[in-house]
Amino acid sequence: MNTRQTKILDIMSNKKRVTVTELAEALGVSEVTTRKDLSQLEAKGLLKREHGYASLMGSDDVGNRLSINYDIKRRIAQKAMESVSDGETVMIESGSCCALLAEALLTHRRDITIVTNSVFIASYVRQQPNARIILLGGEMQNEAQVMVGPLVRKCVASFYVNKLFVGTDGFNEFGSMSRDLMRAEAVRDMAVNAKQAIILTESAKFYQTGVVPLFPYHDIDAIYTDNSVTDDIVANIRQHGIKIYTLSAETTAK
Residue 93 φ then ψ, to 5°? -90, -165
**Least confident range of 1-15, 112-126, 159-173, 199-213:** 1-15
- In tens, the pLDDT along 48-72 reads 888 888 887 655 556 666 767 888 9
Give the domain 69-245 fold. Answer: Rossmann fold (3.40.50)
The number of beta carbons lying within 10 Å of the beta carbon of residue 135 is 16
pLDDT digits (tens, 9 = 90+) for 135-173: 999 999 988 889 999 999 999 999 999 999 999 999 999
Q: What is the pLDDT of residue 250?
A: 45
Q: What's the order of all strands across the beta sheet hosting 212-216?
A: 170-171, 175-178, 212-216
- Is residue 117 within 8 Å of residue 186, measured between CB atoms? yes
Assess whether pLDDT exceeds 50 at residue 254.
Answer: no
The answer to whether the CB of 111 falls within 8 A of the CB of 105 is no
- On the CB side of 144, CA atoms within 13 Å amount to 17
CA distance 2 to 245: 26
Contacts (Cβ under 8 Å, ≥6 apart) of 187 = 93, 164, 166, 178, 214, 215
**Helix (H), strand (E), coil (C) string for 50-91:** ECCEEECCCCCCHHHHHHCCHHHHHHHHHHHHCCCCCCCEEE
Question: Beta-carbon neighbour count of residue 64 at 10 Å?
Answer: 22
Q: Report CA 140 to chain centroid distance, whole Å.
A: 18
**Yes or no: is domain 3-56 CATH 1.10.10.10?**
yes
Domain boundaries, the chain: 3-56, 69-245
pLDDT in tens, 122-136: 988 988 888 899 999
Is the pLDDT at 215 greater than 60? The verdict is yes
Measuring CA to CA, which residue among 85, 242, 115, 121 is closest to residue 175? Answer: 242
**Domains 3-56 and 69-245 agree in fold:** no
Q: Is 42 exposed, middle or buried (0-12, 13-18, 19+ CB in 10 A)?
A: middle
Task: Note the pLDDT tens digit of each residue in 18-58.
Answer: 888 988 888 889 989 988 888 888 877 777 888 888 887 65
pTM given for the model: 0.79
